[in-house]
Amino acid sequence: MKYVSTIALLGVLNLTAGSALAEDSSDPIKIVTNDWTSQVVLSNVVGQVLESQGDHVEYKPSDAQLQFTAIASNDMDFQVEVWEGSMAESFDKSLKAGAIDYGSHQAVTREDWWYPSYRLQKLLRKTIVFITHDFDEAIRLGDRIGIMKDGRLVQLATPEVMVSSPADDYVREFTRNAPRDRVLTVGSIASPVPAPLNGVNILASAKIGEAAPIVLASEKPIAVIDSAGRSIGAIDRTAMIRALYPDERA
């Protein structure tokens, strides 16, 4: 679900003080307020902007569904925040009736926080396929990523394997700007030769972005350990720099 920040207008309204497109009016601008904090705060912010321009503003509480009917009948003038999850149907009807949507963004509703994709996957016990052109989004959502070209699956792998071992130049170019610090683990770039444990050790499962400050500050290789605390490799500055900046010489 997406959050829609909007100004819904119906009829002929004068919303801009001193506008060349409409005559000044002494009538108050009636802003819809709902019963949740963010909407009330945003309504007051917009109202204060209008008041600073010389307009008179009134705040009108309304039910989330009836507000659009009130706007249509000119009992209220505009609404600054609409949630798709609870208002989509009424909002869409108002757009067809002449309301104006002044824009939206991709903040998610709380319902999406309660039921993230991994939780749904556990509950349903099914594979979920997301289609996206955004590699960062694919990294956030998928355990594995598939890249297609001309209707053909070029590579199917975990994000880490996709970034560290691209199947061909097409995949390499696709993943060139991937956030390597959040994708690659220390274990994937470590030397297989164990280093002695010395009190400053790094888990193989740690992301390289987390480990970089420690590694880059050390003049000696640092032991890479497994979940049991055993040394299974080593990581040094050169390996870290090459992993973070593959196109540059370490």
The string of pLDDT tens digits covering residues 100-137 is: 777 765 655 555 555 566 666 677 777 777 888 888 88
**Of 214 and 39, the one with more pLDDT:** 214
pLDDT at residue 40, as a whole number: 87
Assess whether 106 and 13 both reside in one domain.
yes
In a domain, 249, yes or no: no
- Judged against a pLDDT cut of 70, whether residue 74 lies above it is answered with yes
Whether the CB-CB separation of 193 and 233 falls below 8 Å is answered with yes
| Whether residue 204 has pLDDT greater than 80 | yes
| Structural domain span for residue 189 | 181-244
Percent of the chain with pLDDT over 70: 80
Residue 100 and residue 37 share a domain: yes
pLDDT at 1: 39
**195 pLDDT higher than 50:** yes
Residue where a domain terminates, one of 178, 209, 231: 178
Q: Where do runs of H (alpha helix) occur along 190-247?
A: 208-217, 237-244
CB-side exposure of 232: number of CA atoms within 13 Å? Answer: 15
The two beta strands, 222-225 and 202-203, are parallel
Examine the domain organization and report whether 86 and 158 are in the same domain. Answer: no
CATH assignment at residue 215: 3.10.580.10
136 and 107: one domain?
no
Indicate whether 26 and 67 sit together in one domain: yes
User: How far apart, in whole angstroms, are the C-alpha atoms of residue 63 and residue 86?
Assistant: 11
Q: Are residues 128 and 168 in the same domain?
A: yes
Residues 6+ apart with CB under 8 A from 151: none
Same domain for 173 and 212? no
Express each pLDDT in 143-187 by its tens digit: 889 998 888 899 999 999 999 999 999 999 888 888 899 999 999
What is the number of structural domains in the chain?
A: 3
